[in-house]
Amino acid sequence: MGAERLYNRAVKSTCIKVLKVRVKDRHAPLLRSMATEVNLVWNYCNDLSDRMIRERGRWMSGFDFSAYTVGASKQFEHIGSSTIQETAEHYASKRYSAKRRKLRWRKSFGDKRSLGWVPFKARAAHWKHGQVFFAGSHFKVWDSFGLANYKFRAGCFTEDARGRWYFCICVSVDRTCPKGQDSIGIDLGLKTVATCSDGTVLEGRWYRHLEGKLAKAQRARRKRRARAIHAKIRNRRADALHKFSRNLVNRCGEIYVGDVSSSKLTKTTMAKSVLDASWASFKTMLDYKSQQAGIVYREINEAYTTRACSECGGLCGPQGIRALSVRDWQCVECGVQHDRDVNAARNILRLGAGHCAP
């Protein structure tokens, strides 16, 4: 039934988690210099890949790129071999996924410059004297996780559209024992981003709420203001999705979600609402948080879940895009009154629980 993922609660005692903390603004000039050198490595790999395929018909791997960049750290002032190798391997992985002979060039200057990115391998960064020590420099951060209690693995420094830098690091954490025993089904939509089988809903429309202010800033050509509004929209969306998904994982032992895809809907007049709902991000959050908590997470084929009555199973509900305005309906076979989204969520729960039954 759809894309299915089931996690055994007793497979591993630890799991990988990514921590993200803000870097103090005083380090921005140094990090931009590092990012410029990373862009040079990326563009070198891009050019090398293009020439190798055109001239020799050879697709290079991450190992090949690493061999061609041996000793390159002597040519740079700020980054070392760890960052160079990680950049080359990441480029090879991205190019392989895209199935193209080259990717976009990373630009270091101008209005369309690429956002800063400085990756590194495990053990290249560590916590020292209350700061992050990397490439011979100390970086002060707003430590909201207690980084001294973790052993750093691979990670990166990243820049957002407002020029703020963040330190992202992979760490190993103990898998928490699942506390909740409830099972819940979730129907994803546009009017409400997520509706649960118990009636809980997540309201969306984060972009719509600030659309007027954003349009005003764009008409006035206030780029900094527009970037700030975009960041506020993104932060509000991420905050709501994180809190809602965390609440579900904490109180449930089994989570079933409809496998709705936004790829086709983004080509319709509903594209703005679909992108604002960010279904993929929400499902990704539920996915990895379920792994960490050791609970069941499964995506269920949601065909006919809106039309089928969750009480008797009769197919008498609204169907098609034209019927999206019908939010409540009554089953003609059993007479039960349904909320459109809650009914679909209950059907998703029934399908998921039936699939997992022995």
0.75 exceeded by the pTM? yes
CA distance 18 to 172: 9
For residue range 283-313, what is the model confidence (pLDDT) as tens digits?
A: 999 998 988 888 899 998 888 888 888 878 7
Count how many residues are written for the chain. Answer: 358
- Average pLDDT in the chain: 87
Tokens of 252: 């449930």
Q: Would you say residue 219 has pLDDT above 60?
A: yes
Domains of the chain by residue range: 17-174, 176-358
Q: Average pLDDT, stretch 165-187?
A: 86
Based on C-alpha coordinates, what's the Rg of the chain?
A: 24
For residue range 256-291, what is the model confidence (pLDDT) as tens digits?
A: 998 887 777 777 777 888 888 888 899 999 998 988
For residue range 29-46, what is the model confidence (pLDDT) as tens digits?
A: 999 999 999 999 999 999
Helices (H), the chain: 28-56, 62-68, 81-98, 206-219, 223-251, 271-277, 279-293, 340-356
Q: Render the burial of 244-278: b for 16+ CB within 10 Å, e for the rest.
A: bbeebbeebbbbbbbbbebeebeeeeeeebbebbb
CA distance 259 to 187: 9
Tokens of 118: 């400085």
pLDDT at 322: 59
Question: H helices then E strands: how many in the chain?
Answer: 8, 14
Q: Would you say residue 12 has pLDDT above 70?
A: no
pLDDT at 310: 80
CA-to-CA dists, residue 175 to 153, 184, 255, 276, 293, angstroms: 17, 21, 18, 32, 6
CA distance 297 to 255: 5
Instruction: Tell the residue number behind the tokens 């399908």, with chain if given.
Output: 351
Q: Average pLDDT, stretch 133-162?
A: 94
pLDDT band, very low/low/confident/very high, at 355 (cuts 50, 70, 90): low
Q: Mean pLDDT lowest for which of 215-224, 318-327, 331-340?
A: 318-327
Q: Would you say residue 357 has pLDDT above 50?
A: no
Tokens of 292: 């960490």
CA distance 347 to 354: 10
pLDDT at 276: 80
For residue range 196-212, what is the model confidence (pLDDT) as tens digits?
A: 988 889 988 888 888 89
Q: Are 21 and 142 in contact (CB under 8 A)?
A: yes
